[in-house]
Structure formats: C-alpha cells, structure tokens
Structure 1
Amino acid sequence: MELTLTDLDLLSDYEKIKEPFFTKRRFKHADLVKLLEKFSFEKEVVGQSFEGRDIYKVKLGSGKTEVLLWSQMHGNEATATMAIVDILNYFQETSNGFVEDILNGLTLHLVPMLNPDGAERFIRRTAQQIDMNRDALALVCPESKLLKKLQEDIKPAFSFNLHDQNVRYSAGATKNQAAISFLATAYNEATEWNENRTKAMQVICEMNAVLQQIIPDKVGRFSDEFEPRAFGDNIQKWGSSLILIESGGYGTDHEKMYLRKLNFLIILKALESINVGAYKTKNLADYSAIPTNQKYLFDLLIRNVNMEGETVDIGINKDEVNIEKATDFEFNSIVEDIGDLSTFWGIETFDATGYTLSPLSDFLEILTSFKVKKEDLGRLEFEKKANFALTKNGELCHLVLNGEFVAVPS
C-alpha cells in the first residue's frame, strides 16, 4: 500500500494547523479549557472530576454513524490529547471534500481529557488514586461513571481509547521501538471474534497499513488477554467496536511531538475508513501480522565493557520524575541489568569494546562542575543510579551521569 494523495495532503496540512501551544506534554486542565474556547463546534461540560474540574465533550458532524474518542483516561498520557486539539483545528480551519465527507457521514464526540485531576499532577491515576481503566465494573470514580454514561447515551458504533505506553516496548523481539501500538480488545475470556471486535481489528489494519509506509517495523500489537475490569474490554462487550491506540516512543522525541503527528494522521484515516467502509477488506491475517509488543529494549545499553576484569553488558533505564509542579520532568536512572544482554537492544547503544568501567571517585577533580552526590561516586551497582566513567589505558574518555553521556570537561 502506497501513501495516497490524501495521506500526503494530511501530512502537509498538519504543519499548517497543528496547535502551536503544545511544545510539552505536561499541560494543565486550564490550558486545555482555554484552547477549547476558540472552537465553534458544540461544546458541553458532561461532568466533573473528583476534584470538581469540568470534563468537556466536543461534538461535530451530523452523520448517522456515531464515533466516540477519549484521551487522558490516564493523566500522564497526553499525546493523543494534543492530537485531538490538532484534529479540531483541522476541521475548523479546513474546507475540502475530505472534511465534508467525514462530517456528513459521521457524528464525532471527542473527550480530550477524561482525567483532569491526574493530568494536573501528571500521574496515571485519578485523584482517588484509582486506575480508571480498571474501574469499568465498580465505577468508583466519577470519571468512570461519566464514560459509562457516554457509552450508554451515545451508543457509538466505534470507540477510540487513546493512551500512551512505556517507551521501552519493542515491536516484536527486535531492536525496533514500538512507536504506535494497537489492540482490538477482547470482549470475553475466550478472546473470540464477533462482529464488533472484527470491525475494530479491520480499522486497525487500515491505520497500520499507512504507518508501515512512514515508520516501517515500528508498530506493535498488544496481547489480547481479557481484562474483565478494563473499559476497553467492556466497551467491546457492550456493543461498540473499541480501538485502542497507544503512543510509545520514538528515539529522543521525549515530548512525543512526532507521535502526536502520527496520531493526527491515523485517527483521521480511521475516520475516513469508517465513513466509506474501506476497512471491510481487511482480515485477521493482516492484524496478526502486526508483531506483538515485547520488552527487549533498554534506554541505554552499554555493550562489551570491561567491568572488574570481565566483559559484560550494562542495561540502563531512565524514568521521568515530575518537577516544578508537574510542568516539567527530569530523568532518574537505574542500572536495570548487568551481564549477558546479547538478546536485548538499546534505544541508545554504545559499544564499549576496549573500554574499562571506572567509578567516578577516580575523577573527583573534574566533577566539581557536576551535581553528583557522594553516594553516587563509588562502584557501579545493580538497581542503583547509573553514574560511571569509561576509560582507556587509565585515561578518561566518557562520563555517564544519571544514565546519560555528558561531555568530559577539557
């Protein structure tokens, strides 16, 4: 499948209509509310969060096929929220046959931020410390009750559950980072295929076909074990074709701006496919060909380093830690594994053949310009912070501080 003129037009149009406010993922509910003010589409406060923040739904189109999309069910998963605002920009600012056909054939309901309390703290869970995506049955959270009510009232033919996933997922047992992953969620323990689930699978195949032209071999598929408490599984069970999209990682694009662009493209392509029925030609073999998500990646993989007389590999991961009232982040590294890591890959890889790993305590005189705690100066240890030096013949060649290479002071 080659990119069509429409696909290329969408990618070109994106640069003109993308929302300039978004440069980081850590924006607040108040920021989103302000952005929504400019849209002429029907906007409705459909409920409040546990802490009383308004939850908005935007409605556009007048077609007979109802489609519901929601993002930030998990407060720290904001990539698709940005894409939804971009899509609203596109529909408001663009007048062409593509837009007219979608708005005439579909009625779209978009909830950009379902968990505003979690977004305020940039955490996964709600203010009640509950994972909303495990609350589809108990309905403890007001946000969960709201989503269930939207499903009951709208009765969407298709639903899009938009998430972010760990950046260290690989597309199969490969070095390829899973930039985007999909799932047509199961609706029962036997993971059977009824009409609703089959339609979700077919739409996913349409989106994957486009992505393979842009990011070949960087698309994954989640395993479909049934989770009886999850909204995705239950919405599939309740009669809507549920499509799960997860934005993973793309190299050093930590703010996921490129993945935001891909979300914009594939969501619009999915809507077009639903509208014209193009998805109906896809089959289970197309879906099964998407490699399943695996965990074969470290953020940084040091290969073949001499550590205390033996050649080993060192796998290092870096987790984001919120700072400045969750408006920014810093990394906190951890030595995840040491030894033979020949079956793994790194998002960043360094071949340390010929280098010796040395403690930072050997180079105190050059560390005065760096903030390194005393406890991080010693011997590299499993499950501790990744601070060390790489030397050749006793000469300092590289510094790794908190899991990142930094320039050696001259």
Structure 2
Amino acid sequence: MLQLYPLVKVGEVKGRYLTYSHIDKILENLGGKFQLKKIGESTLGVPVDKLTLGSGKIRILAWSQMHGNESTTTKAVIDVLNAFYTHEDNPVLMQILANCTICIIPMLNPDGATAYTRVNARNVDLNRDAKDLKEKESRLLRLVFDNFEPDFCFNLHDQRTIFSAGNTPNPASISFLTPAMDPERSVTPSRIKSMQVIAAIAEELNTNLNGQIGRYDDSFNINCTGDSFQSRGVPTILFEAGHFPMDYEREKIREYMAAAILTGLYAIASGSYKKMDFLRYFDIPENEKLFYDVILRDVLFKSELVDVAIQFKEVLSNNAIEFLPVIEKICPKLAFHGHREIQCYNSAIRLGDNQELSENVIVNKIYVNNEVFTINYENSYK
C-alpha cells in the first residue's frame, strides 16, 4: 500500500477539520462502482452513509469518526476506497474483494465532525453508548451490525499526542487493541483472531514505524462499542491514529493508517493472519502517557530551575483547526518527553505580550536571551 499510496491519496480531503460536506461528493462518486446507501440521519439531520464493496464470504464492518474530532481514519478510509475504485486490477485488492464483503461507515458522527467535538449534538460520547443505545447514531451502527452480521469489525479512531509506545521516547504513531469481552479480559477465540490480525499489521508496518506502534489498555467496559461487539463473539480491532513527528495535520499518519487498514483486510482475505502467533500481540508495548507537545528545559524561574510543559489545545476557528499552546505544568526535571524540546540553558524566559509565566497561559512565543522561539503550530490548511 505504501508504494501505491501516492497514486490513491485523495488530495482534496486534507487537514484535521473534516465534515460530511467535505466527503459527500466523493462518496457519491464512489457509489458509481460500489453500493452507497444512506442508513439514516444524525441528530441534526445530516446523512449517515455506508459503502459496501466486494463479493466474498468473509464479512468485515468498519466505521470511522464515531468521535467527530477524530478525522484521520476517515481520510485513510477515503484513500483505501479510492484504491479499490482506481486499481481494481491490483492482485492484492482483487483478492480482498473476491474473498470479502466490506461494509464501511465513513462518518458515523457528522454533527460532532461539524462542531469538531468528540461527542454528538446531544453531548453524548457514542463510544459509551453501546449498551443503552440512547443516540440515533449508536442505533444506526447497531442496526448495520445486526443486519450485516460481520465476521470482523474495524473500529477506527484518533488518539492524542500524549501517548508513547511503552516506556520509551517514541510516540505511539499508531496503536491497536483487541477489546476485552469480559471483566476478566479472557483470551477467547474471537480475541485470538483479532490479536493475530493486529500482529500481522504490526509486522508489516514495523519497517516504517519501528518502535512507534503501541497497544491500548484493554480494561473492559461494556458501554464501549468494541467491547460490546467483541462480547458478541465478533473479532474486533481498534485502530488509533496517533502522532508522527511534526505531523499535526496527520497527513503522514493518514498514509500509514491506510496501509494498516489494507494490511488488515489482506491478512483476513488471504487467511495469512492464521499463521501468526497471537502472543506476538503482547510484544507490542502498551501505551503510556509520557508526552507533551513542547517542553522548555532548564528555565530559571523564581530562583530555581524548572521545565515548562506545553500542550496544544485544538480549537475550531474559521473552518480550520488552530493549535493553541497552553502551559500545562511547571516543575523541576519533568520526567516526560516533548515532541519538541527547547533548551533554555538555565536562563529566564519572557513570554510574548508581557504575559507572566504560569500554568494555563497561552504562549505563542518565548524569548530566551536574544533568541525568539515560536511555539504555536501554524496550520497550513487554513
């Protein structure tokens, strides 16, 4: 997929802010070759669509943007669909379509996508609504699940920049999970299958993401969609698009996520996942929260040396995402890593606009002696 990717990337879909209006015409075009169907509407009346492709016996259900502000996997899904649309003679893609029937919901929470929020229009996290099914979008997903009767599920998400791949200085650029199906986290046949698929994906991606693949915590929560579907005996895989160095628009991770999705589909279609030792899943390091976006090291502050941790707050402004640098923590010798680190060499610093150095302050620039450092990340897709 990585070799094919430049040919299949859908260039007009880009950046972090992705709404239904950005993809509806693309889905309509894909519907010329695949089966496009409106399965219902969101709380605010925006269409929720599904695309079905392939003619095989193995049934795979995937959904993206269950959380409205998690758009990377939707971009990757569009690229994957475009690969099937434009390269139907590719032997790998041909085998997937011959052996699998794939049902994809590209954007489950279009209201959250428009507002750039995790929750839907009624302020409910759909990934905590799998048991109660209070929300329209949750009921639509369950309806598709019940009618489609999948053999595998792909649950597609984004994760924050705070995660490391284990206790390492490496960001968790992509993470996976086979959700638990009970409080005991039993290793059941359905979990073993999804562990094998994840192991196959990790093996394929490891060449490019060595040390940057993580494993999510598998604490059981029946209100979560993945746990709910797994408890019904359907092997379910959580995909989490994370941070790649200086890739805040998540265009590079979009590429790796597309490769991960296709690798998973091919492992299932070819049956190659069955040869994987499921225990290799546990070789993937479990995620830890060891990162800030920026750390200022060795700052002289009130007569002592401290580190200053800054985290970007994502804010929707004029139909684009701004990354506001907020000081989260000031303390000596922070035992964390920064995606960017600035050495201040035991010097006092000044903030822009005559601000005082304190937590919860937005800081766009800092002055260290005679140097000026720009902290804010400039979104190139405004």
TM-score, normalized by length of structure 2? 0.94
Task: Give, in whole Å, the separation in 2 of the partners of 1:52 and 1:195.
Answer: 40
1:332 aligns with 2:309: no
2:203 corresponds to which residue?
209
Mapped contact 2:154–2:238 kept (Cα < 8 A) = yes
Per-residue CA deviations over 1:158-177 (Å, capped at 9, x if unaligned) read 00000001012111122111
Paired residue for 2:12? Answer: 21
Is 37-46 or 276-285 further displaced after alignment? 276-285
C-alpha separation in 1, matches of 2:249 and 2:173:
13
Rounded to whole Å, the distance in 1 between the matches of 2:365 and 2:373 is 6
- The answer for the alignment partner of 1:51 in structure 2 is 44
Percent identity between matched residues is 34
Q: Is residue 148 of structure 1 aligned with residue 142 of structure 2? A: yes
Match of 1:368 in 2: none
Closer, same or farther: CA 278–181 of 1 in aligned 2, 3 Å: same
Does 2:187 align with 1:181? no
Answer whether contact 1:65 1:107 (CA < 8 A) is retained.
yes
Q: Which stretch shows the higher mean deviation, 292-301 or 20-29?
A: 20-29
8 Å Cα contact 2:301-2:348 kept in structure 1: yes
Query: CA separation of 1:85/1:391 partners in 2, compared to 1, >3 Å: closer, same or farther?
Result: closer
SS where residue 76 of structure 1 aligns?
A: coil
Query: Would the alpha carbon gap of residues 405 and 287 (structure 1) be closer, same or farther in structure 2, given more than 3 Å must change?
Result: closer
Q: Cα offset for 1:388? A: 6.4
Name the counterpart of 2:372.
398
Shift of 1:387: 5.9
Aligned mate of 1:385, from 350, 362, 372: 362
Q: 1:199: Cα distance to partner?
A: 0.5
Considering only aligned residues, what root-mean-square deviation do their CA atoms show, in Å? 1.6
| 1:244 is the counterpart of 2:238 | yes
Q: From the superposition, tell whether residues 359 and 130 of structure 1 become closer, same or farther in structure 2 (CA, over 3 Å).
A: closer
3-state SS, counterpart of residue 129 of structure 1: coil
1:165 equivalenced with 2:142 (yes/no): no
Contact kept? 1:200, 1:243, Cα under 8 Å: yes
> Of the candidates 342, 345, 350, which is equivalent to residue 342 of structure 2?
350
User: 1:219-230 alignment to 2 at 5 Å?
Assistant: 219-230=213-224
> Is the Cα–Cα contact under 8 Å of residues 161 and 292 in structure 2 kept in the other structure?
no
Q: 8 Å contact 1:399–1:405 — kept in the other structure?
A: no
Cα distance per residue 1:19-75 (max 9 Å; x no partner) = 111122213212211111112111111111111111111111110000001100011
Are the counterparts in 1 of residues 365 and 376 from structure 2 also a CA contact under 8 Å?
Answer: no
Give 1:30's aligned residue: 21
Q: Which amino acid aligns with 2:62?
A: L
Paired AA for residue 158 in structure 2? D
The 2-side partners of 1:387 and 1:60 are apart by 47
Quick one: which amino acid aligns to residue 266 of structure 2?
Answer: E
Cα distance in structure 1, aligned partners of 2:371 and 2:220: 50
Residue aligning to 2:74: 81
C-alpha contact 1:202 1:287 (8 A) present in aligned 2: yes
Task: Please tell me whether the aligned partners of residues 157 and 241 of structure 2 are also in contact (alpha carbons under 8 angstroms).
Answer: yes
Q: For 2:345 and 2:65, locate their aligned partners in 1 and report how far apart those are by CA, in whole Å.
A: 43
2:184 is matched by which residue type in structure 1? A
Q: Deviations over 1:68-113 (max 9, x none)?
A: 0110001111111111111111111111221221111000101100
Alpha-carbon distance between aligned partners in 2 of 1:284 and 1:49, rounded to the nearest angstrom: 38
Give 1:378 shift: 3.5
Shift of 1:405: 8.9
List structure 1 segments (4+ residues) > 4 angstroms apart after TM superposition: none
Structure 2 partner of 1:63 = 56
Preserved CA contact (<8 Å) 1:68 1:109: yes
- Counterpart AA for 2:372: H
Query: Which has the larger Rg?
Result: 1
1:379 aligned counterpart, secondary structure: coil
Q: State the secondary structure of the residue aligned to 1:210.
A: helix
Moved more, 23-32 or 199-208: 23-32
1:305 and 2:296 equivalent? no
> Which residue type is aligned with residue 92 of structure 1?
Y
Aligned partner of 1:210: which letter? E
Number of aligned residues: 375
162-171 or 328-337: bigger deviation? 328-337
Secondary structure of the structure 2 residue equivalent to 1:144: helix
Does the CA-based 8 Å contact 1:44-1:58 persist in structure 2? yes
- The answer as to whether partners of 1:315 and 1:337 remain within 8 angstroms in 2 is yes
Stretches of structure 1 lacking an aligned partner (at least 5 in a row) = 1-9, 361-371
Task: For residue 329 of structure 1, report the CA deviation from its aligned partner.
Answer: 1.8
Q: Which moved more, 1:21-30 or 1:58-67?
A: 21-30
Distance 1:300 1:234 in 2: 37
Map 1:96-107 → 2, pairs under 5 A: 96-107=90-101
Structure 2: gaps of 5 or more residues: none
CA shift digits 1:330-349 (9 cap, x unpaired)? 22222211122342110001
